[in-house]
Chains A and B, each alone.
Chain A
Amino acid sequence: MRKLIILVGLLLLLSSTSVVAQTKPWEERKEQWQERIKERIELVISRFDNNKERHIAVYNAAKDRLKQIADELEARGYDVSKVRADFQTLDSMIVKFAQDYASFIDQLRAAEQYEPGTQGFKGVIEAARSKLKTVRDDALDIRHYWQTVVRPDLKSLRDQNPTPKSSAPTSSPSGT
């Protein structure tokens, strides 16, 4: 009987030490997992950042070209008030795109503060997803606005018969 008690005691001791031994690797694994998720988030952010920089560069180039053509045609006596108004709207749309994008990145970075797999983490990722949809819609709006408003307004200038301004300098088109 005494032997049996000693045997059971030994078994209990062994099992408890194995549990303690297993807890430490689990903690380590969890930390590794969290680290990996943080790395993934950073990778996703850098990928989106590249896209955002490309979009902003393209939008600004288009905006500058629009301003240039408006200046040039105005000097030739064209009424470019519509194109100038379109320019302002386009500018504010680009600003909104950049702001919404910054908000999306903030949301994504906030996910790094939560423990992966938790409800809080999932909630933050879902909120980031929703903000990303807004960014995508902004990009779509800019493209749509160019195609349906700015382009027709610019095209309609061809129908104008301008009265040349006497003092206006005869600007030559700059090759871009």
Chain B
Amino acid sequence: MIEARSYSKIVLVFLVVLMILSLALFAASCGKKQESTSSSEKHVTETQTTTGTESIIDNALDEISRQINSVSPSDFNDSPLNSI
């Protein structure tokens, strides 16, 4: 009778320990997942920022080139002076 009681106690303790361990494992895995998600999000944001800046630079380069090329130094040729 005493042996049966001690057996059930041991099983109970074993179960409790198992439960605590599985809970700890679950919590650890959740934390890791969250960390990896946030780091990948950070990476995506950084990449987007870099790509965004590159496109800003490219747009400015195109725009200013178009502006500068829209006028020509030949607008100041001296041929109109020949008509004087």
Contact = CB atoms under 8 A, between A and B. Distances in A.
A154 interface: yes
A154 B68 CA distance: 15
Interface stretch (B12-20, B33-41, B52-60): B52-60
B83 interface: yes
Interface in B26-84: 49, 53-54, 56-57, 59-61, 63-65, 67-78, 80-81, 83-84
Interface string A91-130: 0000000000000000000010000000000000100110
A173 B73 CA distance: 32
Interface of B: 49, 53-54, 56-57, 59-61, 63-65, 67-78, 80-81, 83-84
19 contacts: A44-B83, A48-B80, A51-B76, A55-B75, A62-B67, A65-B64, A69-B56, A72-B56, A128-B81, A136-B73, A137-B73, A139-B71, A139-B76, A140-B73, A146-B64, A151-B61, A151-B64, A158-B53, A176-B63
